[in-house]
Every structure is written in structure tokens, then in C-alpha cells.
């Protein structure tokens, strides 16, 4: 959700309110404020209060790496699966947990390293390259509309 919102904010000429971001992300404004608080502490976004205020990017996309966003969000758990703790005295559970713990740790290290190799500018470039109709503009309300249905037949 955060990456999605940040990319939409990329070339906006005005701040986005929490309500506007929440509407676009199909969530609650409180969720946006809580999530963006970490992004603000990491100096990825800034916020201003009052009329005309809202959230804006604090630095250019080429200076924000996916790893920066991941860290700003508190380095959330990468894998939904993990060690079990239903029967801590079970020798089988202990053996499985020991084997899986190192695999999960290694996989997470690789993923986090790769997150630090990709900038938001690269994601934005990918969006623009895939926009065949030239109608997607990051940061503008038009980008929130679903694409028009194609009526032409394929040959």
C-alpha cells in the first residue's frame, strides 16, 4: 500500500490528504496516518497541517529505495509462515523450527538486500513504460481510474 501511495504522489503538484490517500488505497485515513508516520520519521515524506496541507514526498524517487520504505515501516515480517509454537516441548516441532529458522533468515537477508538495490524511480519508469496509451500520470487523479475496456478484437 505504501509503495502504491508513494508512486501516486511522485509528480503531484499538491499534497495528498490522509482522506484522499485512504480513498485511493481503499482503507481508513487513520491507517494512512499511522503508516505514513514511519515514512515521515525516515524523511521519505513530509506533512503539513491545515487547509491545503497533506502528505508530500520529501525527496526525489531516485533517492528512495524499497529498502528505505521497508525499514521505515518497521521491517515488517516478510513471510506469513514461520516457526510454530503450539507444542514447544515436541521434539519434532523443535527440529522443524531449527531447520526452518535458518532458511527463513537467509531468505529474508536476500530479499532485504535486493530491496536496497531498487529505487522508486525504477518502479515509476516501469509504470510509464507499460502505459501504452499514455494516460497514466503518477500523482494525478486520472491515474486512479481503472483502464477503459477495450472493444477492438484481437486478430
Q: What is the DSSP letter of 119?
A: B
- The answer on pLDDT for 150 being more than 80 is no
Q: What is the DSSP letter of 153?
A: P
DSSP for 78-104, written as a single string:
S-S-----S-TT-HHHHHHHHHHHHHH
Domain residue ranges in the chain? 1-59, 65-118
Q: How high is the pLDDT of residue 89?
A: 83
Of 30-44, 101-115, 119-133, 140-154, the least confident: 140-154
CA distance 135 to 11: 14
- The answer on pLDDT for 18 being more than 60 is yes
CA distance 35 to 135: 29
Q: Indicate the burial class of 55 (C-beta count within 10 angstroms; 0-12, 13-18, 19 or more).
A: buried
Specify whether the CB–CB gap between 73 and 5 falls below 8 A. no
CA distance 61 to 40: 15
Distances, alpha carbon 42 to alpha carbons 52, 55, 65, 67, 108, in Å:
23, 14, 12, 11, 21
Q: How high is the pLDDT of residue 128?
A: 84
pTM to 2 decimals?
Answer: 0.73
CATH architecture entry for 1-59: Orthogonal Bundle (1.10)
Q: How high is the pLDDT of residue 139?
A: 52
CA distance 135 to 12: 15
Average pLDDT over residues 53-59: 94
Amino acid at each position: 500500500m505504501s509503495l502504491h501511495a508513494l508512486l501516486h504522489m511522485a509528480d503531484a503538484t499538491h499534497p495528498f490528504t490522509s482522506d484522499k490517500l485512504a480513498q485511493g488505497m481503499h482503507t481508513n485515513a487513520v491507517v494512512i496516518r499511522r503508516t505514513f508516520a514511519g515514512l515521515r520519521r525516515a524523511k521519505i515524506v513530509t506533512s503539513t497541517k491545515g487547509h491545503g496541507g497533506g502528505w508530500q514526498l520529501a525527496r526525489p524517487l531516485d533517492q528512495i529505495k524499497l529498502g528505505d520504505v521497508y525499514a521505515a515501516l518497521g521491517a515488517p515480517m516478510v513471510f506469513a509462515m514461520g516457526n510454530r509454537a503450539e507444542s514447544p516441548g515436541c521434539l519434532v516441532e523443535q527440529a522443524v523450527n531449527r531447520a526452518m529458522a535458518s532458511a527463513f533468515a537467509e531468505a529474508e537477508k536476500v530479499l532485504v538486500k535486493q530491496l536496497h538495490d531498487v529505487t522508486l524511480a525504477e518502479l515509476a519508469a516501469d509504470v510509464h513504460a507499460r502505459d501504452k496509451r499514455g494516460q497514466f500520470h503518477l500523482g494525478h487523479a486520472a491515474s486512479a481510474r481503472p483502464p477503459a475496456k477495450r472493444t477492438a478484437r484481437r486478430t
